[in-house]
């Protein structure tokens, strides 16, 4: 095997694959020089393609629905993405240097078998997001078919999804299978083509709405009154959690970079500012729908279907494209590698993606998205706590314990530096538990599983800081107990 990871990678020789090595397959091996051709523009386009999506729009509209002013909502979005950009860039540096994906990187800290834990957790979160984006795409497809005169019914009283919407969900789900089969390069091409189209459509929507509603009226709506007022720290934690997924598995993409500069510049340009700008689309859409039609719409399809057939037709097609670009990049690449990690000799990138798509069918996003609080706090805040602990362990292990030096050949073999105890690093597991378990009572209370009155105020408040707490505690414990390089 040839690769371009350089002398500091500590590769002793060719890494055996498949039948002779249960820890490797062609998709998990370090990328070769020929595979490393992504420039900074590709990463910027990748991020714009992922940012411009219905979940981002809904994130901003949900914050207004939870009592935030539009200024505070946009500021918190920008701040959260500046925060999550830091671990994104730090973990992303592993990709160009060593060419390994996230599940293989996790073997250094969790062990060659223990890496299954963070890989499966990250993969399941991606399956949830995959399902959510398929649902948003289904709503857009459903609305578009109605514009064409299909006369499809929405959910009846007490329902969260109709039969025709569920059929649209299955149809949009099936489209993704083509990109799983074609692999990561098809995703890069899709993002480069789609990103400018989605930017143009978003600008056009804003222009049309601001022509209908004077800016003074649009940006001076009083904040919605909610019980207890807006929950700033809980919202910030949820917003950080929005891309905490990619902060972990970003090496899945940066392993294809031409250089460190390309991934650093591309991500810095493509994430914080575009997120803040597109959140403004959600703010404007939520406020304009309230003024024009008497009901604030959380989802853009609800607004578009009220704006006339032409606007709705074009807008809903853009939503379909936006959700497709986000879904294949953010929610299929990761689980494809993650599930491949569990049994590399049996599960390829394609097979891992197919498994993720099937698991995605088991989620019921129409229930999760029934309320803005359920989306913002229960979903985003909940999984953010899990992933924060993993990020803390990875960062401490790579930068503070190993001083950015990995023995790549040992990542793919039993009995090497990353064998620990029968393939599992017990200290990493303890660090993960210490970071996550204290936040669990607060999560169960917020999600309605247990009564809030039964949970001490300290534990309730702890969940509001879930991502920050779990990252700091898990990383701190791991540093104290790990054997330093």
Report pLDDT for 412: 93
**Lowest-pLDDT range, 108-117, 192-201, 375-384?**
375-384
Assigned token pair, 235: 């919202």
pLDDT at position 2: 35
Mean pLDDT of 394-402: 97
Specify whether the CB–CB gap between 469 and 439 falls below 8 A.
yes
- Lowest-confidence segment of 229-233, 340-344, 357-361 by average pLDDT: 229-233
Question: 7 or 393: which carries more pLDDT confidence?
Answer: 393
Q: Using 50, 70 and 90 to split pLDDT, how confident is the model at 7? A: very low
Give the chain's radius of gyration (CA, Å).
Answer: 22
For residue 373, what pLDDT is reported? 59
Question: pTM to 2 decimals?
Answer: 0.82
- Does residue 10 carry a pLDDT above 70? no
In the predicted model, is pLDDT for residue 9 greater than 50?
no
Note the pLDDT tens digit of each residue in 412-421: 998 999 999 9
Q: Does the pLDDT at position 288 exceed 50?
A: yes
Please say if the pLDDT value at position 137 is more than 60: yes
What is the mean pLDDT of the segment spanning 480-484? 85
Residue 15's pLDDT is: 63
Task: Give pLDDT, residue 87.
Answer: 95
- 445: tokens are 């209370």
Q: Is residue 16 scored above 70 in pLDDT?
A: no
pLDDT in tens, 191-225: 666 667 777 888 888 888 888 888 888 888 777 76
* pLDDT one-digit tens code per residue, 240-268: 888 888 898 899 999 999 999 999 999 99
């Amino acid at each position: 095997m040839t690769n371009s990871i350089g002398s500091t990678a500590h590769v002793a020789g060719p890494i055996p694959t498949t039948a002779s090595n249960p820890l490797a397959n062609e998709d998990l091996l370090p990328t070769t020089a020929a595979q490393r051709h992504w420039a900074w523009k590709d990463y910027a386009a990748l991020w714009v393609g992922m940012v411009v999506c219905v979940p981002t729009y809904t994130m901003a509209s949900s914050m207004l629905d939870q009592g935030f002013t539009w200024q505070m909502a946009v500021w918190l979005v920008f701040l959260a993405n500046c925060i999550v950009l830091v671990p994104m860039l730090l973990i992303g540096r592993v990709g160009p240097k060593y060419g390994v994906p996230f599940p293989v990187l996790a073997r250094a800290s969790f062990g060659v078998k223990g890496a299954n834990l963070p890989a499966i957790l990250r993969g399941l979160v991606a399956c949830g997001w995959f399902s959510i984006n398929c649902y948003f795409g289904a709503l857009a497809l459903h609305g578009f078919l109605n514009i064409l005169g299909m006369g499809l019914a929405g959910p009846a009283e007490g329902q969260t999804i109709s039969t025709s919407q569920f059929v649209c969900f299955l149809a949009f789900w099936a489209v993704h299978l083509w990109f799983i089969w074609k692999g990561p390069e098809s995703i890069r091409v899709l993002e480069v083509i789609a990103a400018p189209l989605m930017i143009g459509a978003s600008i056009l929507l804003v222009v049309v709405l601001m022509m209908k509603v004077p800016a003074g009226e649009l940006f001076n709506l009083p904040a919605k009154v909610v019980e207890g007022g807006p929950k700033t720290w809980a919202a910030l934690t949820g917003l950080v959690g929005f891309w905490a997924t990619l902060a972990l598995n970003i090496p899945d993409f940066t392993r294809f970079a031409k250089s460190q500069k390309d991934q650093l510049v591309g991500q810095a340009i493509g994430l914080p500012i575009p997120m803040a700008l597109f959140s403004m689309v959600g703010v404007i859409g939520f406020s304009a729908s309230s003024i024009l039609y008497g009901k604030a719409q959380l989802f853009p399809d609800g607004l578009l279907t009220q704006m006339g057939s032409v606007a709705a037709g074009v807008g809903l097609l853009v939503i379909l494209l936006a959700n497709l670009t986000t879904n294949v990049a953010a929610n299929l690449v990761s689980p494809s590698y993650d599930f491949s990690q569990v049994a590399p000799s049996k599960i390829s990138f394609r097979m891992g993606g197919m498994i993720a798509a099937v698991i995605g069918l088991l989620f019921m996003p129409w229930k999760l998205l029934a309320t803005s609080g359920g989306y913002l706090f229960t979903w985003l805040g909940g999984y953010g706590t899990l992933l924060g602990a993993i990020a803390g362990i990875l960062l401490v292990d790579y930068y503070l314990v190993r001083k950015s030096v990995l023995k790549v050949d040992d990542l793919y073999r039993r009995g090497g530096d990353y064998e620990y105890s029968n393939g599992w690093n017990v200290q990493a597991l303890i660090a993960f538990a210490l970071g996550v378990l204290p936040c669990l009572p607060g999560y169960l209370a917020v999600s309605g599983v247990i009564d809030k009155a039964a949970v001490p105020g300290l534990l309730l408040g702890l969940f509001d800081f879930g991502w920050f707490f779990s990252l700091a505690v898990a990383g701190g414990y791991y540093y104290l107990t790990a054997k330093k390089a």
